[in-house]
Chain A
C-alpha cells in the first residue's frame, strides 16, 4: 500500500520543477519541454486518483452521481491529445520565429519592449 499522498507529492514536485524550467530557462524549446513536463505531472495525478476511486468504488459524489474510476484514464487520453496538438502548433511557431529572429533565445524575442 503506497499512500495516495506520495503520488500526489511526486506530481507536485514534477509540476514545480516544470514551472521552474518555464521561468528560468532561456531556450524557447526548453521552455516548451518544461510545459510538457507540467502536463505529465498532472496526468500522474489523474491516474493516481483513478486508481483511488476505483478502489473505493460505490462512493457517491455530493451531486448523487457515481464515480467511475476509468474516467480519469479517459481524461489523461484527452490531455495527451491536446498536448500533441499544442506541441505541433507551438513548434511551428518557434520555427517561424527562428526564421525571422535567427535566435532561440527568448530574451531576444522582445520586439514589444518599449
Chain B
C-alpha cells in the first residue's frame, strides 16, 4: 500500500530551476527566465498536491499509511549514528508543503510582474527558486540534520535576497544582519541536536520519537536534560522566527524587494521555527518549564512588536512588526502546547500576510516607489482593486469573523486561556495585542487609502527616475529603473493600478484569506474543527512510527484540557477578542479618519514615550552597544592587529627575514676571495681528519 511517491523530486525541481536560471539566465530574456522559474515551482506544487491526495485519509482507509517515509540513502555514518537522506510525509508536513509551494507559486507569479523593470531579473528568480528548494528540504526532511541543512539554506537564501540591491549599503548591511542573527539561533539549534544525539543516539524523527515514547519519561519537574534540549531548540527557533531577543533582523529585512518580504518574511521562512517546535512536540511536552518559557517569549514578542508597529510610518515596516507580533502568537500557542492551533494560525497568517505585503507592494508600485504612509492617502478611488484586497487582508488580520484570522487567533487564545503552561494572564496580553494589532492595521488602512489625495508633485514625475522625493524617505528600495512603465493606463497623472499579473495572485490570496479559516471552525460555533482533527494523529501520539493511531501515551495530561470547556465560556472568550479588535478599529477610525490632528496632539503629550517607541525601544542601539561594539573591538584589536598582524604576519615575514639573514651570512663563503676558499678547505680537511682520529681513538 505504500507506493513510492518520489518525494525527493519535490524539493529538487526548484533547485533545477535555480541552477538553470543561475548559470544561464544572464543570457535569457525575462520571459524565458520567468517561464522556467514558474514552471518548476508549479511542478513542485503539483507533485505536492498529488502526494497529499494519495495520502488523504478516506473512509475506506488512506491509500497509504502515514507517516510515509522515503529514504534515498545514508548521508552520514559515524559509528552508531547515521543520518539518511530521507523524506517524511505526515499531516503536518503536508500542510506545510502545500502552504510553501502554493503561496510560493502565487508570489512567483506576482514577482514576474513586480520585478519586470528591475535589473538582475534572472538572479532574483534563481535565488527565489533556491529558497524554495531549501524550504522544501526543511519541511520534508525526516531527520533533524537534513532539516538543519534546509534551515541554514533558507538563511542563506534570505541573505541573498535581502541584499538583492547589493549596491546599497543599507541592503547589504541588512542581509548581513539577518544572516548573523540567524546564526546565533542556529548555534543553539546545533547544541540541541548534539544533546539529542548524545542522549538518544539518533536524529531521525521516527527513531527519536519512538524512543521517547517507549522510554516512558515522566514530564520533567525541574531543569532536566530534556528541558535543556528543548530550550536550545527553542532558542534556535527564536532566531529563525524573529522572536525576542533575536527579532532585530526582520524589520531591517524590508530592504529586500517586496515579493521577498512576502514569501520569506511572512509566509514561509519565519514559520520554520514554528514548524520545528511543532515537530518536536514530543520533546517539549516532556519539559513543561521549556513550554512556559516558549509561551512567555511568544507573549512578550507579540505585545512588544505590536506597540512598535503603532508608531512606524513606513508601510513595510508596519507589516514587518506585524509579522513579528503574529509569530509571537504562534509561539505562544506552542507554549500552550496547542500545536495544531499554531499551525492553523501559521496557515492563515501565510495567506493574509502575504496578501498584505503583496498589496503593499502594489501600492508602492502604483506610487512609483513611495513607501512613507504620511505621503499616501486617498488612494482607494485610484487603485480600487488593490484597495479591496487590502481591505480583506486587514479585516482578516484584525481577527474579525468570518474571515480567516478570527478562527485561528480565537483558537490560540482559547487554548492559551485554559493551558497550564500559559494561563489567563497571557490570554489578557494576547487580547490586548489583538486590539493593538487591529489598531495599527486599520491605521495603515486609513492612512493609505482614505483622506485627501496628496498633490502629485510630491510623488515626482514617473517618467524620470523617482529618486529625489521617494529616496529621501527610508531609502526607497523599490525604486524602479529609469525606463517607463509598460502599462500606461493612467487617467490619473502618475498613479496607476498594477497589471493583472500582479493583481491575480492578490485575488487568489484574498479568497483564501476569506475562506481559509473555515477548516478550523470550532465545535462551539457549530463547526467540526477539521484541521485539529487532521493534525491529531501527529500531535497526540507520542510516537510517530506507525500510521495508525497508536495508543496515546499519557504525557499530555496537562497540555490539553481533558474535558471540553462549557460553551458559554468559549463564546465569552471569542466575544472578548472580537471586541478588542473592534475597539482597535474604532480608535484607528477616530485618530486617522475623523480627527486627523489628534495623533499629533497625543504624541506631543507623551513625547518621551512616543520617541522611545518610535525608536523601537532603542533595542538596536542596545545590541550595538552590548554586543556589536565589543565584538568589533575584540576583532580589531585582538584578532586583526594582535594575532593576524603580529603573530601570523610576523611569523611569515620573520621566516623571510630569517632566510635573508642566513643567506647573507652564508653568502660570505662564496666571497670570490681565493684565500678564504683555501681557509675553508683547510678547515674542512682538518675537521674530517680530526673526526677520523676520534673514531680511531674510540
Contacts and interface: CB of A to CB of B under 8 A. Distances in A.
B678 A110 contact: no
Contact of A22 (B670, B672, B673, B682): B682
Contacts of A111: 672
A19 B671 CA distance: 20
Contacts of A31: 678
Interface in A81-114: 106-107, 109-114
Contacts of A114: 667, 671-672
Report, as a range, how many residues of chain B touch the other chain: 10 to 19
Interface string B661-698: 00000010011111100110010000000000000000
Interface in A1-32: 19, 22-23, 26, 31
Nearest to A28: B674
B613 to A, nearest CB: 78
B669 to A, nearest CB: 12
Contact of A106 (B667, B674, B679, B682): B674
A110 B679 contact: no
B674 A23 contact: no
A19 B678 CA distance: 9
B672 A112 contact: yes
Contacts of B671: 112-114
B672 A23 contact: no
Interface string A19-47: 10011001000010000000000000000
B675 A113 contact: no
Contacts of B679: 23
A73 B407 CA distance: 122
Contacts of A107: 673-675
A112 B670 contact: yes
Nearest to B685: A19
Report, as a range, how many residues of chain A touch the other chain: 10 to 19
A48 B269 CA distance: 101
Contacts of A106: 674-675
A113 B672 contact: yes
A96 B673 CA distance: 18
Contacts of B675: 23, 26, 106-107
A31 B201 CA distance: 85
B682 A110 contact: no
B693 to A, nearest CB: 12
Nearest to B670: A112
A109 B682 contact: no
A107 B667 CA distance: 18
Interface in A29-83: 31
Contacts of B674: 106-107, 109-110
A101 to B, nearest CB: 12
A23 B670 CA distance: 17
Contacts of B667: 114
A83 B673 CA distance: 25
A49 B672 CA distance: 40
B673 A23 contact: no
A94 B401 CA distance: 117
Contacts of B672: 110-114
Interface in B139-179: none
B673 to A, nearest CB: 6
B670 A19 contact: no
B621 to A, nearest CB: 64
Contacts of A26: 675
Interface of A: 19, 22-23, 26, 31, 106-107, 109-114
27 contacts: A19-B682, A22-B682, A23-B675, A23-B678, A23-B679, A23-B682, A26-B675, A31-B678, A106-B674, A106-B675, A107-B673, A107-B674, A107-B675, A109-B674, A110-B672, A110-B673, A110-B674, A111-B672, A112-B670, A112-B671, A112-B672, A113-B671, A113-B672, A113-B673, A114-B667, A114-B671, A114-B672
In the A-B complex, the 3 residue pairs with the smallest Cβ-Cβ separation, listed nearest first, are A112-B672, A113-B672, A110-B672
